[in-house]
Chain A
Amino acid sequence: MYDMGMAQSVAAEAAGKVSARGVQVFYGTTHALRDVDIDIADRAVTAFIGPSGCGKSTFLRCLNRMNDTIPGCRVLGDIRLDGEDIHDPRVDPVQLRARVGMVFQKPNPFPKSIYDNVAYGPRIHGLARSRADMDVVVEKSLRRAALWNDVRDRLHDAGTGLSGGQQQRLCIARAIATSPEVLLMDEPCSALDPIATAQIEELIHELADQFSVVIVTHSMQQASRVSQHTAFFHLGELVEYGDTETVFTNPVDPRTENYITGRIG
């Protein structure tokens, strides 16, 4: 059962950056997500947990309308960014995605140089006026993604030539180069070793100073380490949402408890 009171208390304590009401997603005839209501706080990390196939990625993609690009996918319900309906016909998904950045599960750098990977977003959105401006943006993004020291001497080498962890950090640098207000991360550490994971968690922590970060993760430890709020999805439903500490130590729904203690999933 979804605890409405909990969600409202979270919404009350931190102004909701993104709020969703009654979100339903269909892939053709498959009902992948049922009636999700959630308020995602600004300048905080929200973790989505739940067993595979429960709709975490699907919901994440609703938030920047990446589901628009999947043929046969229908999204119903109301999603607002700063109170503005993102499905309003006046909204250009391109603009939305510049404000709601995304890091994918599998590192997917462009087959271009490291520099061009990071510079791409600012370039198409006209965020840097000169080459020097761009250099600053690229360096800043790479530094924040904890990649600068690894690549400062080979900015013009292929981004695809980096190791898996470096590639993921490059993708994060690319996503934050446009200074999005919300950063969506879909299992960003699933392909990484513990050291790279720790670096990215550190980074998420820092990013939360400025952005609203939403992270999908399969690791309970990660969720409890990095997030302030946790949402538990199960079979297309948002089962429980609240403070991370509460969800982990004192879950309301038995399904949450079962999942956290390793009995389902």
Chain B
Amino acid sequence: MSIPQQSLFASDPGTARRRAAEARFRAYGLGAVLVGVAALLLLLSSVLSSGLGAFWQTRIHIPVTLAGAALDPLGGRDPAAMRKVTTIAYGKVIEAALRDAIAQAGIELPLTDAEIAAMLSKEAPAQLRNKVLADPALVDGTIEVSLLANGRIDGYLKGRVTMDSAQLDRNVTPQQLLLADRMLARGMLSRDLNPGFLTAPDASDLRPEAAGLGVAILGSAYMMLIVLGLALPIGVASSIYLEEFAPRNRWTDLIEVNIANLAAVPSIVFGVLGLAIFINFAGLPQSAPIVGGLVLTLMTLPTIIIATRAALKSVPPSIRDAALGVGASRMQAVFHHVLPLAAPGILTGAIIGLAQALGETAPLLLIGMVAFVREFPAAPPEGFFDPAPALPAQIYNWTQRADPAFVERAWGAIIVLLGFLLVMNAAAILLRRRFERRW
């Protein structure tokens, strides 16, 4: 049967059907993409709207007179002696200063001293104490300070706390919110950018306004260093061996199957393994980046091996033949020709593996990386053994706290985590482009 002859311009029924099918298929494809994009937008907008607030913090700006009698009773301005003065003394100084400032500003509201003091964060005395200990010459002078406001006041400025909710809240009264309004109007209160969210350590349940991600970011960074330092060389070396040198036999088949299986093992299993082997058996410290790093290395290895082997496989065999043909050894062929061509793929695989490891939470919960840690770990390598939480574990931890202010911080931490992931993935793409351009 042949195609009946007719004008090219006339469309036959077959053509019409084919076109309709193609149009339908395109519509499905476009629809699928749109659903994906919409889901992503929804996710991003909800993350941003819930979490951006954490990057701003309400502060109270007042002049404080640092009475030497209270803060340096011995009068020698000796830091060691001044260290003996606790935050309680500083608290009293600040509370007095705040009362004075309010009176000075002519704000008259029926508030008790305790209610006025509660406008400030419980962290505020420590803030002032650190400042004075850093510079004892400030004592007996009057300085302008910006102190953290209580989380509820911060929540009021961010819309989380309202007059109605304050009525039912034991921790804040509508009168305090009115005071916040007045102070805001007089510039004694303001919402500013909060670098402490990225640099400060975690804070206790009672002072969400002071909690930051500093230690968690360091903990995660240490773990990533360990993962990069172990998983990349081990993964690349084993891939090169398996792909380029190993004989094809039952053993290498077995190894192959196991690597594929390892990649599919649920992460919690790696956590149990880490707990059993690294902590209980090897006696490594709990909550330490070294253990987290080792566990994540185990998890990342299959990803890196699979990506590296795929990259090596994609190098055309004719390149190996060419190298061997001019008398290069196997190793020279691999290191001079195959590896440079596979490098972009290997790097991409490594960064994606690392990004996965950065976001991994379940195994970290098991090895104690959710611990409450306020001490910054030391510089590596000793710091690898100091306790520190990890970013995703910190997020989990904050969502478990009672005060809703921590929920905002958890969302903020999610933004930080996503930001890191975005940077890593962008780096993967950039590196790939860069290396690929060098044919």
Q: Which residues of B contact A125 (CB under 8 A)?
A: 327
**Interface size classification for chain B:** 20 to 34
Q: Which residue of B lies closest to A177 (CB)?
A: B326
Please report the C-alpha to C-alpha distance between residue A181 and residue B337 in the assembled complex, in whole angstroms: 25
Tell yes or no: A108 within 8 A of B by CB: yes
Instruction: Choose among A97, A111, A112, A124 the residue that contacts B325 (Cβ–Cβ < 8 A).
Output: A97
Inter-chain contact B327/A121, CB cutoff 8 Å: yes
Please report the C-alpha to C-alpha distance between residue A125 and residue B248 in the assembled complex, in whole angstroms: 30
Tell yes or no: B217 within 8 A of A by CB: no
Tell yes or no: B439 within 8 A of A by CB: yes
Inter-chain contact A111/B326, CB cutoff 8 Å: no
Given the known interface contacts A120-B336, A160-B439, the answer about A108 and B322 at a Cβ–Cβ threshold of 8 Å is: yes
A77 to chain B, nearest CB (A): 21
Q: Which residues of A contact B (CB under 8 A)?
A: 64, 66, 69, 71-72, 94-98, 101-104, 106, 108-112, 120-121, 124-125, 158, 160-161, 171, 174-175, 177-178
Q: Which residue of B lies closest to A116 (CB)?
A: B336
A95, A97, A98, A104 pick with most chain B CB within 10 angstroms: A97
Q: Which residues of A contact B341 (CB under 8 A)?
A: 111
Q: Which residue of B lies closest to A96 (CB)?
A: B327
Given the known interface contacts A71-B247, A158-B439, A160-B439, the answer about A108 and B318 at a Cβ–Cβ threshold of 8 Å is: yes
Inter-chain contact A110/B337, CB cutoff 8 Å: yes
Which residues from 203 to 248 on chain B have a C-beta closer than 8 Å to any C-beta of chain A? 247-248
A-B contact pairs, 7 of them (CB 8 A): A94-B329, A97-B326, A98-B327, A104-B321, A104-B325, A158-B439, A174-B326
Given A97-B326, A121-B327; 18 other pairs, CB 8 A cutoff: A66-B321, A71-B247, A71-B248, A94-B327, A94-B328, A98-B326, A104-B318, A104-B321, A104-B325, A108-B319, A108-B321, A110-B337, A121-B326, A124-B326, A124-B327, A124-B336, A161-B439, A175-B325
Tell yes or no: B320 within 8 A of A by CB: yes
Please report the C-alpha to C-alpha distance between residue A31 and residue B17 in the assembled complex, in whole angstroms: 52
Per-residue CB proximity of B315-359 to A under 8 Å, as 1/0? 010111111111111001000110001000000000000000000
Inter-chain contact B325/A102, CB cutoff 8 Å: yes
Inter-chain contact A178/B324, CB cutoff 8 Å: no
Q: Which residues of B contact A (CB under 8 A)?
A: 247-248, 316, 318-329, 332, 336-337, 341, 439
B340 to chain A, nearest CB (A): 8
Inter-chain contact A97/B321, CB cutoff 8 Å: no
Q: Which residues of B contact A171 (CB under 8 A)?
A: 322
Inter-chain contact A97/B327, CB cutoff 8 Å: yes
Q: Which residue of A lies closest to B320 (CB)?
A: A69
Inter-chain contact B323/A106, CB cutoff 8 Å: no
Inter-chain contact A66/B439, CB cutoff 8 Å: no
Please report the C-alpha to C-alpha distance between residue A178 and residue B328 in the assembled complex, in whole angstroms: 12
Q: Which residues of B contact A66 (CB under 8 A)?
A: 321, 324-325
Inter-chain contact B327/A95, CB cutoff 8 Å: yes
Please report the C-alpha to C-alpha distance between residue A124 and residue B337 in the assembled complex, in whole angstroms: 13
A91 to chain B, nearest CB (A): 13
B428 to chain A, nearest CB (A): 21
Inter-chain contact A109/B322, CB cutoff 8 Å: yes
Instruction: Choose among B247, B322, B328 the residue that contacts A124 (Cβ–Cβ < 8 A).
Output: B328
Inter-chain contact B319/A110, CB cutoff 8 Å: yes
9 closest Cβ pairs, A-B complex: A98-B327, A108-B318, A121-B326, A102-B325, A97-B327, A108-B322, A111-B439, A158-B439, A94-B329
Q: Which residue of A lies closest to B326 (CB)?
A: A121
Please report the C-alpha to C-alpha distance between residue A125 and residue B323 in the assembled complex, in whole angstroms: 12
Please report the C-alpha to C-alpha distance between residue A108 and residue B326 in the assembled complex, in whole angstroms: 12
Inter-chain contact A124/B321, CB cutoff 8 Å: no
Inter-chain contact A110/B327, CB cutoff 8 Å: no
B251 to chain A, nearest CB (A): 14
Q: Which residues of A contact B337 (CB under 8 A)?
A: 110
B316, B318, B322, B324 pick with most chain A CB within 10 angstroms: B322
Given the known interface contacts A71-B247, A110-B337, A120-B336, the answer about A175 and B319 at a Cβ–Cβ threshold of 8 Å is: no
Inter-chain contact B325/A120, CB cutoff 8 Å: no
Please report the C-alpha to C-alpha distance between residue A14 and residue B314 in the assembled complex, in whole angstroms: 45
Q: Which residue of B lies closest to A184 (CB)?
A: B325
Inter-chain contact A97/B324, CB cutoff 8 Å: yes
